Amino acid sequence: MADTPVVQMLGISKIYPNGIPANQDVNFSVNKGEIHALVGENGAGKSTLMKILFGFEKPTSGIILMDGEEVTFASPMAAIAKGIGMVHQHFMLVPSLTVAENVVLGMAPKKSGMFIDFKEAVRLTEEYAERFHFDVEPNARVADISVGMKQKVEILKALVRGAKVLILDEPTAVLTTQETEELFRQLHELKNQGFTIIFISHKLNEIKELTDRVTIMRRGKAAGTYDTDSISEQEISRLMVGRDVVLELEKTPAEPGEVVLHVENLQFVNEWNKRMLNGISFDVRKGEIVGIAGVEGNGQRELVDILFGLISPEEGSVHVNGVNISDKSQRDLRNMGVSYVPEDRMTFGIAGTASINENIVSDRIASPAFNKGPLLNMKAIRETSQHLIEDYAVLCKSGRQHVNMLSGGNIQKVVVAREFSADPLLIIADQPTRGIDVGATELIRNKLVDLSREGAAVLLVSADLNEVMELSDSLIVLYGGNIVGYFDDGQWDDVMMGEYMLGLKKQSDEEVKRACHA
């Protein structure tokens, strides 16, 4: 049974109306009861391939076989009817509805002919949750549950609809370490019960840990399928980008100067009255990278929002170069030399339907260099933008292309090109490489190190533990809204970090106070 292909995609090509080939003659075969990884850089074509399998897109050519029979999916409903389920990276859940209501949406059980049978909906949800050992609360509103539980609801939705083949699109991108472990246990459980799982991911360690086989995609083509055990992370990475990626970063020791960012006793209570920050104090000095590590949801989000003036703290203060920023606008902050790489690049980082040129100069458009009387100096804008596009290797047709036409990694390059070229005194980088390809990640990390060595103060917030450990000169660990650890000796490893991040260990107040240098 192990070698029976359940899904075969043969000779799949997809050419978009604008002439861009997203898939070229891709062969992809998944066996029954296996966990099959699909990896590739952003824009390598794996999303397109899965959209075709799930009926979102029609292939230009090629056929799909399920259990050896040719099938065509005109819509996701047709794919669902044949037993394919997809868990999207962005959850397809209605926040104000309960878990059970979301599970039965579109197939709500009825009673007395017209009313929803809520009891039956809850029973159905519980039945499936029990069968697969999913811990969900059917009557909870989706808006109130954790990200990890939302994902379980998504998987349940697919299972209730009879899915036998589950496509998971970067499922761990939003999960905490514990939630990821739990997900992996559940995926193993599903596998043992005969389900087939296609696991799209960027994270090579997860692929090694979880999957049986791996198919690598590169520039719209399949670059091979391997038994996961027979291939190393370095080999996968090389096949993905077609060159060896330097995963170890070269970095000279930091020579910290005077304090640029001074954070004192920040406290914040969120709208659900949960205390998210509980008296945070630390400094970031010129020429150093301070990393903030921690499982997501331990105050990072609130800290960054306060630092860039998006929310106000209940208590405490933030000083940039000795100036209190409490009544400063984002414009003021930028004029003070603060650059910001937001976590949510699509909302806060770019204007999607504006061009690359326009996005790159959007923070400095008032400058005399880009104006000619009442009009914009298009030539100067174009030249500056072109220079940055080359410098940051943004893959695009021209600077006039709309930013939302680019892949995730290239969009992020546009964001950092703008933020890093503003001659920043302080860079707040929030998850700067989340969900982007290895090449773009490498470029952004190197630029961050270069800028800090040239004298910028860098605050790096990242859920990617390897990233913070590798880039940071000193490290702060947040847990439950407190700083539970401060490390400045470069002597850290993931086991030790894990213990602090999960709240198993905590430094004394004296040790934590070392994060303040003033």
- Strand, coil or helix: 293: strand
**Closer CB to another protein, 79 or 198, in the complex:** 79
In angstroms, give the least distance from the CB of 331 to another protein.
10
- The Cα angle at residue 5 between residues 215 and 226, in degrees rounded to 5: 25
**Closer CB to another protein, 327 or 510, in the complex:** 327
In angstroms, give the least distance from the CB of 347 to another protein.
10
In angstroms, give the least distance from the CB of 437 to another protein.
25
**Closer CB to another protein, 169 or 212, in the complex:** 169
Q: Are 463 and 296 in contact (CB under 8 A)?
A: yes
In angstroms, give the least distance from the CB of 104 to another protein.
8
In angstroms, give the least distance from the CB of 436 to another protein.
23
Residue 137 burial (C-beta neighbours within 10 Å; 0-12, 13-18, 19+): middle
In angstroms, give the least distance from the CB of 217 to another protein.
24
Q: Rounded to 5 degrees, what are φ and ψ at 419?
A: -70, -40
What is the number of residues in the chain?
518
| Residue among 9, 37, 495 at smallest CA distance from 228 | 37
In angstroms, give the least distance from the CB of 185 to another protein.
26
In angstroms, give the least distance from the CB of 101 to another protein.
6
- The Cα angle at residue 425 between residues 282 and 315, in degrees rounded to 5: 35
**Closer CB to another protein, 64 or 276, in the complex:** 276
- Strand, coil or helix: 511: helix
Reading the block at residue 40, the tokens are: 């590739």
**Closer CB to another protein, 179 or 302, in the complex:** 302
What letter would DSSP give residue 322? T
In angstroms, give the least distance from the CB of 222 to another protein.
27
Reading the block at residue 448, the tokens are: 């961050």
Binding site for another protein (CB under 8 A): 75-77, 80, 88, 91-97, 101-102, 105-108, 110, 114-116, 157, 161, 268, 270-271, 309-314, 329-330
**Closer CB to another protein, 102 or 172, in the complex:** 102
**Closer CB to another protein, 108 or 247, in the complex:** 108
**Closer CB to another protein, 306 or 469, in the complex:** 306
Integer CA distances (angstroms), 155 to 38, 147, 165, 173, 372, in order: 18, 13, 11, 15, 56
What letter would DSSP give residue 56? S
Name, in order, each residue with C-beta under 8 angstroms of 189's C-beta and a sequence gap of 6 or more.
132, 133
**What sections of 329-481 are H helices per DSSP?**
330-335, 356-360, 378-391, 408-420, 438-453, 465-471
**Closer CB to another protein, 56 or 226, in the complex:** 56
Q: Rounded to 5 degrees, what are φ and ψ at 408?
A: -50, -45
**Closer CB to another protein, 205 or 270, in the complex:** 270
Integer CA distances (angstroms), 105 to 22, 129, 175, 495, 503, in order: 32, 16, 25, 42, 38
In angstroms, give the least distance from the CB of 100 to another protein.
11
- Give the type of residue at 32: K
In angstroms, give the least distance from the CB of 108 to another protein.
4
**For residue 351, how many C-alpha atoms fall within 13 Å in the half-sphere facing its CB?**
11
- Scan for tokens 């005194």, then name that residue: 425
Reading the block at residue 195, the tokens are: 């389900």
In angstroms, give the least distance from the CB of 486 to another protein.
26
Q: Where are the beta strands (DSSP E) in 112-243?
A: 115-116, 165-169, 196-200, 213-218, 221-227
The span from the CA of 136 to the CA of 234, in Å, is: 38
**Closer CB to another protein, 104 or 449, in the complex:** 104
Reading the block at residue 396, the tokens are: 């695009």
**Closer CB to another protein, 330 or 466, in the complex:** 330
In angstroms, give the least distance from the CB of 92 to another protein.
4
- Give the type of residue at 246: V
**Closer CB to another protein, 4 or 326, in the complex:** 326
| Residue among 191, 166, 168 at smallest CA distance from 180 | 168
| Residue among 289, 319, 262, 297 at smallest CA distance from 427 | 289
